[in-house]
A = this chain, B = another copy of it.
């Protein structure tokens, strides 16, 4: 029954976020072929015929960013008929959160030119990737306010000031220190460690870690 219909191609595209140099970054790949040659694009690729969407996204994440076991969530499916000039391509977009330690090891390890760009000043993007990126940022902001997803952008052990910086960078507004700590601790999702981070010429900070995951 399904044989007679012309079929679209199906891809997954990834919005891979990380925090670096006090900014929210997204991983982009430089296109070296037409169309959009010289523009940047979200990493992505075709979905294997026997591969689930989530598996395809995880595979791309591994191939392009060299990470696995990170936070990954389906974002939206983009399917305008003319979004790709080469033909009908339906893209299932995912977004991923990579912690700031893993990220540094990996950027640029791929053969293709890959770079972390600020999501707030992105270069010209191919296809409808600008729209996908904007939607992903919107979703990330929402999730940050209603869930505890912020921990995914930090290494296992972190200080409360580091976590606060993550919130400030993503929401693009200052956060009150006392209220932030009160709210985060009240959620009961992080535990205080006995360790303390001594670095820099200041008072050492207590380390915390996320309870599950």
Interface pair B50/A86, CB less than 8 Å apart: no
Q: Indicate which residue in B6, B10, B74, B89 contacts A8 across the interface (CB closer than 8 Å).
A: B10
Which parts of A68-85 form the interface with B (CB within 8 Å)? 74, 76-77, 79-81
- 8 closest A-B pairs by beta carbon, nearest first, are A53-B79, A7-B7, A6-B49, A77-B77, A2-B9, A50-B81, A5-B46, A77-B92
Q: What is A's interface to B at a CB cutoff of 8 Å? A: 1-2, 5-10, 46-47, 49-53, 74, 76-77, 79-81, 86-90, 92
CB distance from A5 to the nearest CB of B (A): 5
State A52–B8 Cα separation when bound (angstroms): 11
Listed A/B pairs (5) with beta-carbon separation below 8 Å: A2-B89, A8-B47, A52-B79, A52-B80, A52-B81
State A90–B49 Cα separation when bound (angstroms): 10
State A199–B208 Cα separation when bound (angstroms): 63
Interface pair B79/A92, CB less than 8 Å apart: yes
CB distance from A37 to the nearest CB of B (A): 13
A47 partner residues in chain B, CB cutoff 8 A: 8, 79, 90
CB distance from A38 to the nearest CB of B (A): 17
Among residues of B, the one whose C-beta sits closest to the C-beta of A9 is: B2
State A46–B5 Cα separation when bound (angstroms): 8
Interface pair B5/A7, CB less than 8 Å apart: no
Among residues of B, the one whose C-beta sits closest to the C-beta of A4 is: B46
**A7-B7, A10-B10 given; 7 more Cβ-contact pairs under 8 Å:** A1-B86, A7-B8, A7-B49, A8-B10, A52-B79, A74-B76, A77-B92
A9 partner residues in chain B, CB cutoff 8 A: 2, 5, 7
State A77–B79 Cα separation when bound (angstroms): 12
State A9–B9 Cα separation when bound (angstroms): 9
Q: Indicate which residue in B50, B53, B88 contacts A90 across the interface (CB closer than 8 Å).
A: B53
Among residues of B, the one whose C-beta sits closest to the C-beta of A92 is: B77
Interface pair B92/A10, CB less than 8 Å apart: no
Interface centre among A7, A74, A76, A92 (most CB of B within 10 A): A7
Interface pair A51/B7, CB less than 8 Å apart: no
